[in-house]
């Protein structure tokens, strides 16, 4: 028994000695590496050290600014996100409505009739009105959630009746010749982008320079006066 205890005690002592040896070697290695770096720095001439310091002082703000501009959100008011969305969604709907009027409403109504949609005359005019009025409301940021409902209905009808069989992509380059590029039938990609823009405006707000923003400030002022 005593021999066994003595053997175990000897093993523990050897293990502790090994740990101390490893720790000492690691400490010496770190100190040696630090000494090398310090020696590398102080071996340089004063002019070279001044040059390196100047470079660091010049590059630091540039690096910090690049990092700031490489991550979102950018250093601008968060509500400004709505401006490009309102411009593209609002103008896009107005442009589609105006194109139908410019070609003649009867042409678009005839397309709806050929597709077999019921009440094609009424649906045609409702679509044109929704695109023009709804697009204008989105453009000026007026009653966006209310305008979004009929606009989303128009988009869903377009996806189901026209674009869904053509797949996702809205740009399908098929060939190119002397007459220019030739594209296939567009898919529902653009419809989804319009839907995403409308939903983002409903969730995130109308942004600056909007009718809804003016209404919200008016309501807040009225609530404060009541309190």
| 53 in the same domain as 21 | yes
Q: Which of 16, 47, 70 is the last residue of a domain?
A: 70
Residue 122 has pLDDT above 70, yes or no: yes
Q: Return phi, psi of residue 61, to 5°.
A: -65, -30
| 93 in the same domain as 53 | no
**Which residue pairs from 39-46 have beta carbons closer than 8 angstroms and sit at least 24 positions apart in sequence?**
none
Residue 165 resides in a domain: yes
Question: 66 lies in which domain range?
Answer: 2-70
In this structure, is the dihedral angle defined by the CA atoms of residues 176, 178, 184 and 186, taken in order, positive or negative?
Answer: positive
Q: Could you tell me the pTM of the whole model?
A: 0.69
Q: What is the DSSP-derived secondary structure letter of residue 74?
A: P
pLDDT tens digit sequence for 28-50: 554 566 555 545 555 556 666 66
pLDDT tens digit sequence for 7-30: 455 555 665 665 666 566 555 554
pLDDT tens digit sequence for 50-102: 666 766 667 677 777 777 667 777 778 889 999 999 999 999 999 999 999 99
pLDDT tens digit sequence for 136-187: 999 999 999 999 999 999 999 999 999 999 999 998 888 898 888 988 999 9
Q: Around Cβ 172, how many Cβ atoms within 10 Å?
A: 13
| 149 vs 130: CA distance, rounded Å | 10
**Token output for 145:** 């959630």
Residue 46 to residues 43, 80, 133, Cα–Cα distance (Å) = 9, 50, 72
Q: Which of 70, 93, 127 is the last residue of a domain?
A: 70
| 94 in the same domain as 114 | yes
């Amino acid at each position: 028994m005593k021999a066994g205890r003595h053997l175990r005690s000897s093993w523990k002592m050897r293990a502790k000695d090994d740990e101390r040896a490893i720790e000492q070697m690691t400490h010496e290695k770190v100190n040696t590496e630090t000494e090398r770096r310090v020696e590398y720095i102080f071996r340089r001439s004063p002019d070279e050290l001044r040059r390196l310091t100047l470079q660091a002082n010049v590059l630091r703000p540039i690096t910090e600014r690049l990092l700031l501009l490489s991550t979102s959100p950018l250093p601008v008011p968060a509500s400004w996100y709505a401006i490009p969305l309102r411009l593209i969604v609002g103008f896009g709907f107005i442009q589609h409505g105006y194109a139908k009027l410019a070609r003649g409403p009867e042409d678009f109504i005839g397309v709806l009739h050929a597709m077999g949609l019921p009440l094609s005359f009424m649906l045609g005019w409702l679509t044109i009105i929704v695109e023009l009025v709804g697009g204008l409301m989105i453009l000026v940021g007026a009653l966006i959630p209310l305008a979004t409902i009929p606009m989303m209905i128009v988009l869903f009808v377009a996806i189901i009746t026209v674009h869904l069989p053509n797949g996702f992509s809205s740009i399908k380059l098929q060939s190119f010749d002397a007459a220019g590029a030739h594209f296939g039938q567009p898919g529902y990609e653009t419809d989804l982008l319009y839907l995403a823009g409308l939903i983002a405006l409903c969730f995130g707000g109308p942004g600056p320079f909007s009718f809804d923003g003016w209404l919200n400030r008016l309501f807040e002022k009225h609530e404060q006066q009541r309190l």
